[in-house]
C-alpha cells in the first residue's frame, strides 16, 4: 500500500481523534484576608486525619458609577489537612491576616430531611501569616 493510499484509508475511518485542548486546566487559588475565628484542630471520624476549617474575610473596594466608594467583604471557607492542619491549629488565631495558596474544591452532602447541601471551599495547601492579630499571646 502506498503512502497516499494509506492516508486516504485513514481519512475514511469512522473513529476520529479528539483534538487536544488548547489549554491546560488550572485549579490554583491565592487569596488573602483576615481570619474570622481561631483555627481548631479536628480529626475526621474513624480516622486519624487532621483537619482545620477556618473562615477568611477577603475585602475589595471600587468606585461605582457615581464615584462613590463601594466596599465588599467575601467570606470564604478554607480547609487545611494533615500536617498543615496541625500547624495551623497551633498558629492561626482570629484576626490574623494570612495569605493562602490552594485549590478550589466543591463539597456535596445529604442533610436533614434528605436536603442536599453544596458549597465551594478552598483546599489550603500552605499559608503565610502576613500580620498577627490581637489574639496572640506572647
pLDDT in tens, 86-119: 999 999 999 999 999 999 999 888 888 888 888 8
Read off the pTM: 0.74
Per-chain mean pLDDT for the chain = 86
Q: What is the CA radius of gyration of the chain?
A: 24
More confident residue, 23 or 6: 23
Instruction: Give me the count of residues in the chain.
Output: 138
pLDDT value of position 6 = 47
User: Above 90 in pLDDT, residue 4?
Assistant: no
Q: What percent of the chain has pLDDT over 70?
A: 86
Cβ atoms of 34 and 57 closer than 8 Å:
yes
pLDDT band for 24, please (50, 70, 90 cuts). Answer: confident
Enumerate domains of the chain plus CATH numbers.
24-130 (2.40.50.140)
Distance from C-alpha of 63 to C-alpha of 70, rounded to nearest angstrom: 6
Amino acid at each position: 500500500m502506498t503512502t497516499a493510499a494509506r492516508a486516504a484509508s485513514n481519512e475514511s475511518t469512522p473513529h476520529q481523534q479528539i483534538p487536544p485542548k488548547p489549554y491546560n486546566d488550572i485549579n490554583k487559588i491565592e487569596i488573602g484576608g483576615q481570619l474570622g475565628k481561631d483555627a481548631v484542630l479536628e480529626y475526621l471520624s474513624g480516622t486519624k486525619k487532621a483537619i482545620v476549617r477556618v473562615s477568611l474575610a477577603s475585602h475589595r473596594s471600587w468606585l461605582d458609577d457615581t464615584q462613590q466608594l463601594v466596599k465588599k467583604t467575601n467570606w470564604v471557607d478554607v480547609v487545611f489537612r494533615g500536617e498543615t492542619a496541625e500547624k495551623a491549629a497551633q498558629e492561626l488565631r482570629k484576626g490574623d491576616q494570612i495569605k493562602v495558596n490552594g485549590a478550589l474544591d466543591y463539597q456535596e452532602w445529604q442533610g436533614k430531611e434528605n436536603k442536599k447541601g453544596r458549597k465551594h471551599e478552598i483546599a489550603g495547601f500552605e499559608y503565610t501569616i502576613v500580620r498577627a492579630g490581637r489574639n496572640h499571646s506572647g
